[in-house]
Each structure stands twice: as C-alpha cells, then as structure tokens.
Structure 1
Amino acid sequence: MMTGFRLNLAPVKEPLGFIKVVEWFTAVFAFGSCGGYAGRNVVSVFCGGGVNETLNATFSYPFRLNQMLLVEGNTTICNHTVAETHLVGDSSSSAEFFVAVATLAFLYCMAALLVYVGYMHVYRDSDFGPMFDFVVTSILTFLWLVCASAWARGLQTVKDATDTAGILSTLALCKENDVTCEVTDFASFRSLNVSVVFGYLNLVVWAGNAWFVYKETRWHSQKLSSQGVGRGTVPAPI
C-alpha cells in the first residue's frame, strides 16, 4: 500500500471534509471572541452634599475578578476612607477551559484536513484512521457540550459581579446612608455572548460530523453487512 502524500482536494467537497473546514472556522471564532476580551464598567458614586466620583471596574480574560482592583487602598471617596477593594468572583476556570477546547479543536481540524487532502488513500485503507477520527470527534463533541455550558454560567457570573447590584454588594462605601452607587456606563458583552453562541454551534457541528466519520469506520460497514445478510432473499421453492 502506498503511504506517500497525494494531494487530493476531493474530500473537502464531501461532507466529511467540508464539515472539518466549518469546524475550523467556528473554533477560531469561539476562542477569538473570548480570549482577547477586555471591558470596563464605569461606576458613578453620588455623594450627598459632596463632589461625585467615578470608579472603573475593569475586567478581561481570563476573568479572575477577585484579582482586579476596583479601589486602591486608603482612598478617600465622599469623605470616607475606603480600603483596597477588588471585584468579586473568578470565572477563569470556565473561560480557560472553553478557550483550551476551542484551541484543541482548531488544531485537530488542521491535522484532520491534512490527512484528508494528502493521505485519504491511507485513511480509508486502514481501520485505525477512521476509528481514531471517530473517537476524537466524539470526545470533542462532549467537551464542547461541557465547556460551552460552563462558560455560559461563567459569563453570567461576570455580568452579575460587574453590574450595579454586584458593585453594591462588593463596595462597602455604597452601603453608607449618604452615598449612592450606580453603574452608568456598561462594557459591551457582545463578543462574549457570541463566544457562547459559537460554543453551542460547535457542539451541533461536531455532533453532525461524528455521524459522517462513523460511516467511514468498520463498525458502520459491519452493521450494513449484517443487515444485508439478515435481509437476504429466500430461495424459491422447487
């Protein structure tokens, strides 16, 4: 059997290869819309009878909010001395997991496409290639389900921690009788919302791809063979 590289773009025109191209793009959009994010909410502090102040609640990937400073130590605001205050919450585990799965999927798509366009004759002449492809595709489908769900919950945690209610519960100054705090300028969460959408879109695409990869395995061919034997024609009586 010849095992050398043979360029053949035909598999890309088939569902098996075309879906891998789609997966490559959706993985790029998934980790690109999450991994490069940085945002800022502006908190207006209204002082009763004094000069109003503004604070910046800045946050970015990987969203370790408890390490992001809201107020520097011993700062005087509205005639009150405020201790060093950080945002509350940590969504880094779900965000990093999401980006890691997207990156892994991106790399696997590149490797699979290389095999499809250059070594498809080896891929289809062996049992190992399609079976390995199916197992990895199934694992990544499950990982997309887990990471997209975890990141959707993590994103909600970020939104809750940086909105007005979250700031009120975090900053002790806002509980004073003569002080009112409100988030007056919100960061755009559009790209993060898009990342969640692409997470679930990847789940759907990879689940569909698992079927086409399964059709390349001997498990599918054996099933068809057994069905063919079971439905064989009965000899006519003599």
Structure 2
Amino acid sequence: MCMVIFAPIFAICAFATCGGYSGHLQVKVDCAGRKQSNLSINVDFAYPFRLHQVHFKAPLCDGNSEEVVFLDGDFSTAAEFFLTVGVFAFLYSLLATVVYIFYQNKYLKNNRGPHVDFFVTVLFSLLWMVSSCFWAKTLADLKASTSPTQVLLLISACRAPKNTCSAAQEPVWSRLNTSAVFGFVNVILWSGNIWFVFKETGWYKTGQRYPIRSASGKRSSEMRQRLYSESSFEQPEESFGPSLQDALSPSNGDFTKQVHRQASVNQSQGNLSLPQTYLGRTFMNENQGGSRGPRIFVNDI
C-alpha cells in the first residue's frame, strides 16, 4: 500500500524539482575609470546544466570593448540520469498501482507477476541509489562552478587589482537540494518495498512451508527422540496394564473358564496338581494332594 500511494508522489517530486530548475546570479564590475563599469551582469543557467554553453558579456575596463565569458563545466549527465530514473519509476509505479487494483488475479497467476515485480523493484532500488549519489556529488560541483567568486575569476577585468568586482546576487539552491533529498527518500521507499514484494513470491511461501533446520538443530532433535524412546522402554510393565485390560476385559471370562477346564482335565489324568490360575494373580490349592506344579503367572492384559 505504501508503494501504491507514495512511490508516484515522491518520484514526481524528485524529477520535477530537478528538471524545472533555473538559476540566476548577478555580479558587478567596477572599473577604475568608472566609464566602462557594469554593475549588473546577469548570468542565467538551467537544466540540464551545460554550463560551458552559458555565456555573458563583461567589460574589459581598457576601452569601450567587452568580452564574452563562458562558464566552466558540464553537469548534464548526472542531471539527466537522475531525471530519467524518476520518470520511469513514476510510470512503473502507476502501472503497478493499476495492476494491484484491477488485475489482482492475473498478477498472482503462476507467480509471474510477483517475480517480475520483485526484480523490477530491486532494479529501481539500485538505480535510485546510484542516481541519487551521483546527483548529490554533481550538485556540489555545480554549486562550486556557479558561485559568484568562481565566476568573477573568469572575468579579465577582475584580475586587475585596480578594478573592483563583487557579487550582487547568488543562486538559490533550495529546489535542487530538495530534489536530492527526494532522491534518497525514493531509495528508502523502494528498498523497503523489496521485502513486501518478496512475500508475494513463491520463494517466501516455499521457505515457510519447508523450513531449513541447521545441523545443531537436527542433532538436538535426534537426541530428544532417543531420550524419549529410552524413557518409554524403561517404564514398568504395570503401566501397560490398565489400558490393555480395558481393551480385553470382555474376553476375561471365557479365558478363565478355559484355564479351569484345562486344570480339571490334568488333575483327572494324573496325581500332579496344577495351580488354579486367575488373571492378574496366582492361587494354589493347598488341600489337593500330590506334588505341586509350577506357578503360572498370567498378567492382566
């Protein structure tokens, strides 16, 4: 949502403050004879800041002649690059806004839309960073080249100690300073939007569905499973009784009858007496004669 609302606005502010700028400065040349003095020499420059094409006329102070003076420097590359990035970022943010609002289903189909949006967002983040840094450095050089002190050094009459030269008006740089600030604001905005676009791609969803565990995490998990299995095997057999006894309780009566029947048959066939056995305990009939047989333990299961 931040991308939809603020990206077009800050992009417009960035390239509009840079592309529509025009600067003005004024210097004074006071010749010693005061006949050729020019106290209002105006110098105008504007975007794209090709200063080597900007010229003005200044008196020579040695007659009625004048000279044509050109400024130094060409700063069009950084300015045009910064403005181009701003325009394309504005157009793409408008297109993304339309797609987000009216074509959401097609945008999410097969994850092609989020993937393209992710790569374009990363690209514009890098372009904003490069262009903003380049423009900030160029702006500092532009200020130095158009300062009245530097312009006066280009005038021949100002090099003579008998003449007096001074600055009448300096350029106003607040607009270009604002453009540089908006450039870095766009860097923060587009870089922060990378995370939100990444969440829409399938890569983020795949990472959430199949988390990657480290080697230490795997070893700790295996150790917990081993300790749990060993502790469960060390439990006494009585702990298994209640649950299994409840499961087999309907068949206890039949099983007891079979044990009594088998014991009576064995007693009728020989002198050896067998114990009477019940589920969960062993009972010996001491009144029966003969030798005692082995004890039979039948646990309740």
Q: TM-score range by the shorter chain?
A: 0.7 to 0.9
- 31, 47, 56: which one aligns with 2:31: 47
Q: Tell me if the contact between 2:121 and 2:190 (Cα under 8 Å) persists in the aligned partners.
A: yes
Matches within 5 A, 1:48-197: 48-51=32-35, 52-53=37-38, 54-71=40-57, 76-79=59-62, 81-197=65-181
TM-score, structure 2 as length reference: 0.67
Say which SS state the counterpart of residue 153 (structure 2) adopts: helix
CA RMSD of aligned residues (A): 2.2
Cα offset, 1:186, TM superposition = 1.5
Question: Bigger CA drift: 131-140 or 50-59?
Answer: 50-59
Q: Which residue of 2 aligns with 1:31?
A: 15
**1:135-157 Cα shifts (integer Å, max 9, x gaps):** 11111011111111111122112
Q: Which residue of 2 aligns with 1:205?
A: 189
Number of aligned pairs? 219
**1:45-69 Cα shifts (integer Å, max 9, x gaps):** 1222415312111100000010011
Give the Cα–Cα distance (whole angstroms) in 2 for the partners of residues 180 and 157 of structure 1.
26
Q: Tell me if the contact between 2:20 and 2:47 (Cα under 8 Å) persists in the aligned partners.
A: yes
Give the Cα–Cα distance (whole angstroms) in 1 for the partners of residues 165 and 208 of structure 2.
68
- The structure having more radius of gyration, on CA atoms, is 2
Q: Tell me if the contact between 2:43 and 2:55 (Cα under 8 Å) persists in the aligned partners.
A: yes
Matches within 5 A, 1:10-21: 17-21=1-5
TM-score, structure 1 as length reference: 0.84
Q: Tell me if the contact between 2:128 and 2:184 (Cα under 8 Å) persists in the aligned partners.
A: yes
Q: Tell me if the contact between 2:82 and 2:135 (Cα under 8 Å) persists in the aligned partners.
A: yes
> Which structure is higher in RCO with an 8 Å CA cutoff and minimum separation 6?
1
**1:149-173 Cα shifts (integer Å, max 9, x gaps):** 1111221122111112311332233
Give the Cα–Cα distance (whole angstroms) in 2 for the partners of residues 90 and 178 of structure 1.
33
Give the Cα–Cα distance (whole angstroms) in 2 for the partners of residues 57 and 119 of structure 1.
52
Provide structure 1 residue ranges, at least 5 long, that are not aligned to the other structure. 1-16
Q: Tell me if the contact between 1:123 and 1:130 (Cα under 8 Å) persists in the aligned partners.
A: yes
Question: Bigger CA drift: 80-89 or 198-207?
Answer: 80-89
Provide structure 2 residue ranges, at least 5 long, that are not aligned to the other structure. 233-301
Q: Does 1:215 align with 2:175?
A: no
**1:68-122 Cα shifts (integer Å, max 9, x gaps):** 1122xxx644335443211111110000000000000000001100110011112
Question: Bigger CA drift: 168-177 or 109-118?
Answer: 168-177
Give the Cα–Cα distance (whole angstroms) in 2 for the partners of residues 169 and 76 of structure 1.
14
